[in-house]
């Protein structure tokens, strides 16, 4: 086999990164199940590495993941107690702000958010004694983690990491009733944060990309098809051949040399964006047979639009933020709120809850402890918050301090009153002073208490 034949074979084998069943990593499927998976609606299997590769190759998928990850990375993390009060100088928040090992907080949050969105898994290694808070936190990508399950209880008994950041074996330990994975030195612990579990071992994460089986493939290969048309100028499915008769000087067949020259001529003068629309000139009679549909017939533009909408809908990203024909000012403002409410905040809460659960034994976190965020510090939400404050002011049902808190301003001691629209004075001011009945009673009391001497003196003066 020549080297060209070898690469042609490899290309045919790995035409796509999405497979119906990942046989190399899953022994639970029988041959009958594999055959059924190819003909029925059985789910596919996408490994973590394939999920990352698909995100890199597809602009729409990668864009959706990046949009949410960037928004999460810019969130200002806070710690709150059971009364929802902010805890100042919290040790866990300080570690998340400076995770260590030359990694900034934005990098750390982006890395774990991207991992969760693609694979529903987050793996973090904490350095330092396992009886104390970690000194640093290092995220490990899921495709660098392998899990060895116990056949008795179906839970992991060994977790191995294989990357430049970490190459260790973590064994299962039960400490105070909680399962933890610690290496032999006792100075490293790996924290798994798993979202929706897969259908194979029911422990590792289930990638969302399974639901995008054909959409991602159509989106990626459709763009490759259009680029190929642009580069080739003529469709590769066109057939150019001799007329098959010698009448008029035509040839019944072309020699190898003639075919080679014709191929070079077409590649030089009829392929590529700069040669689009050129005429093909031949010295012999020839037939050109078109055996494929045109780009318009295949309607790739609409197919790409449909696949793009499917990808962004799966990640709950509002389409007015993506599609130019729906990006009006009104739609954009509403979509911006929906983006954070439906796409960003739910993912952040999944991650923050996983971090709290994983790190609770190391920090002895109290009940009711919560890793939260500052809505005011989210730059994308400032316009929305200003609109909320304006609406609350117009309905006149809240105090100025409540309105100020929405946009992040401190309370003012003179702003606890509710203003009414008649004259913009405090509501309680309308009841300041005695009522009419009280005034009448006071006048009667005053008259009764006047002594006779005072009355006589008053009469003399009059």
**Residue 240: is its pLDDT beyond 90?**
no
pLDDT tens track for 42-62: 556 789 999 999 999 888 999
List all residues 6 or more positions away from 438 whose beta carbon is below 8 Å from its beta carbon: none
Whether residues 264 and 406 fall in one domain: no
Whether residues 35 and 91 fall in one domain: no
Instruction: Please answer whether residues 85 and 133 qualify as being in contact, where contact means their C-beta atoms are separated by less than 8 angstroms.
Output: no
Residue 111, in any domain of the structure: yes
Residue with structure tokens 């992991």? 156
Q: What pLDDT is recorded for position 159?
A: 97
**Residue 348: is its pLDDT beyond 90?**
yes
Residue 163, in any domain of the structure: yes
Mean pLDDT of the chain: 79
pLDDT tens track for 80-106: 999 989 999 999 999 999 999 999 999
**Residue 32: is its pLDDT beyond 60?**
no
pTM of the predicted model over 0.85: no
**Residue 25: is its pLDDT beyond 70?**
no
SS3 426: strand
Whether residues 40 and 79 fall in one domain: no
pLDDT tens track for 109-130: 999 999 999 999 999 999 999 9
What percent of the chain is modeled with pLDDT above 70? Answer: 72
Domain that holds residue 400: 375-435
Instruction: Please answer whether residues 55 and 62 qualify as being in contact, where contact means their C-beta atoms are separated by less than 8 angstroms.
Output: yes
Whether residues 57 and 4 fall in one domain: no
DSSP state of 276: T
Please count the residues of the chain.
Answer: 462
Q: What pLDDT is recorded for position 157?
A: 95
Residue 286, in any domain of the structure: yes
Average pLDDT (33-47) is 56
Residue 71, in any domain of the structure: yes
Residue 193 forms beta bridges with which residues? 122
**Residue 170: is its pLDDT beyond 90?**
yes
pLDDT tens track for 374-384: 888 787 777 77
Domain count, the chain: 4
Whether residues 257 and 128 fall in one domain: no
Residue 154, in any domain of the structure: yes
Residue 49: both structure tokens together: 């590495």
Residue 399, in any domain of the structure: yes
Distances (CA, A) of 429 to 389, 392, 403, 412: 24, 21, 21, 18
Whether residues 101 and 196 fall in one domain: yes
**Residue 435: is its pLDDT beyond 90?**
no
Q: What pLDDT is recorded for position 141?
A: 97
Whether residues 201 and 151 fall in one domain: yes
Average pLDDT (386-400) is 79
Whether residues 108 and 171 fall in one domain: yes
Whether residues 56 and 30 fall in one domain: no
More confident of the two residues 456 and 380: 380
Whether residues 52 and 183 fall in one domain: yes
Q: What pLDDT is recorded for position 462?
A: 41
Whether residues 15 and 161 fall in one domain: no
Distance CA(218)–CA(1), nearest Å, equals 33
Count of C-beta atoms within a 10 Å radius of residue 192: 22
Distance CA(199)–CA(205), nearest Å, equals 9
More confident of the two residues 228 and 344: 344
Residue 283, in any domain of the structure: yes
**Residue 191: is its pLDDT beyond 80?**
yes
Among residues 322, 354, 374, the one where a domain terminates is 374
Among 70-74, 77-81, 259-263, which is the least confidently predicted range?
Answer: 259-263
Residue 354, in any domain of the structure: yes
Whether residues 380 and 390 fall in one domain: yes
More confident of the two residues 336 and 114: 114
pLDDT tens track for 293-329: 555 545 566 777 788 888 999 999 998 888 877 777 6
């Amino acid at each position: 086999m020549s080297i060209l034949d070898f690469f042609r074979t490899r290309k045919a084998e790995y035409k796509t990164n999405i497979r119906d069943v990942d046989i190399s990593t899953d022994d639970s499927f029988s041959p009958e199940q594999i055959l059924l998976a190819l003909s029925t609606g059985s789910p596919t299997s996408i490994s973590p590495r394939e999920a990352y590769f698909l995100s890199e190759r597809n602009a729409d998928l990668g864009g959706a993941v990046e949009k949410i990850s960037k928004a999460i990375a810019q969130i200002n993390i806070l710690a709150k107690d059971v009364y929802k009060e902010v805890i100042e100088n919290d040790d866990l928040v300080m570690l998340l702000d400076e995770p260590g090992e030359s990694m900034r907080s934005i990098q750390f949050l982006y890395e774990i958010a991207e991992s969760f969105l693609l694979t529903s898994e987050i793996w973090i290694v904490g350095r330092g004694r396992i009886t104390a808070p970690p000194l640093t936190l290092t995220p490990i990508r899921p495709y660098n983690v392998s899990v060895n399950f116990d056949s008795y209880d179906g839970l992991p008994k060994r977790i191995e990491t294989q990357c430049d950041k970490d190459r260790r074996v973590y064994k299962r330990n039960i400490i105070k009733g909680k399962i933890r994975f610690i290496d032999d030195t006792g100075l490293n612990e790996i924290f798994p944060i798993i979202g929706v579990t897969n259908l194979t071992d029911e422990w590792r994460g289930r990638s969302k990309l399974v639901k995008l089986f054909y959409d991602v493939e159509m989106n990626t290969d459709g763009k490759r098809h259009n680029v190929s048309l642009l580069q080739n100028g003529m469709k590769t499915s066109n057939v150019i051949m001799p007329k098959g008769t010698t009448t008029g000087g035509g040839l019944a067949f072309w020699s190898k040399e003639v075919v080679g020259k014709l191929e070079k001529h077409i590649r030089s003068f009829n392929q590529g964006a700069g040669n689009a629309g050129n005429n093909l000139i031949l010295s012999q009679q020839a037939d050109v047979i078109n055996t494929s549909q045109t780009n318009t017939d295949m309607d790739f533009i609409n197919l790409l639009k449909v696949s793009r909408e499917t990808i962004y809908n799966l990640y709950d990203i509002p389409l007015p933020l993506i599609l130019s024909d729906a990006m009006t000012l009104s739609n954009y403002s509403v979509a911006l709120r929906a983006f954070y409410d439906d796409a960003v905040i739910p993912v952040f809460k999944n991650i923050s809850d996983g971090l709290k659960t994983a790190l609770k034994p190391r920090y002895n976190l109290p009940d009711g402890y919560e890793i939260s965020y500052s809505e005011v510090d989210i730059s994308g939400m400032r316009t929305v918050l200003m609109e909320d404050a304006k609406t609350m002011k117009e309905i006149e049902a809240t105090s100025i301090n409540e309105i100020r808190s929405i946009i992040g301003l401190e309370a003012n001691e003179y702003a606890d009153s509710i203003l009414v629209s008649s004259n913009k004075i405090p509501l309680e001011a309308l009841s300041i002073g005695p009522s009419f009945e009280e005034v009448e009673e006071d006048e009667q009391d005053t008259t009764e208490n006047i002594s006779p001497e005072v009355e006589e003196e008053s009469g003399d003066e009059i």
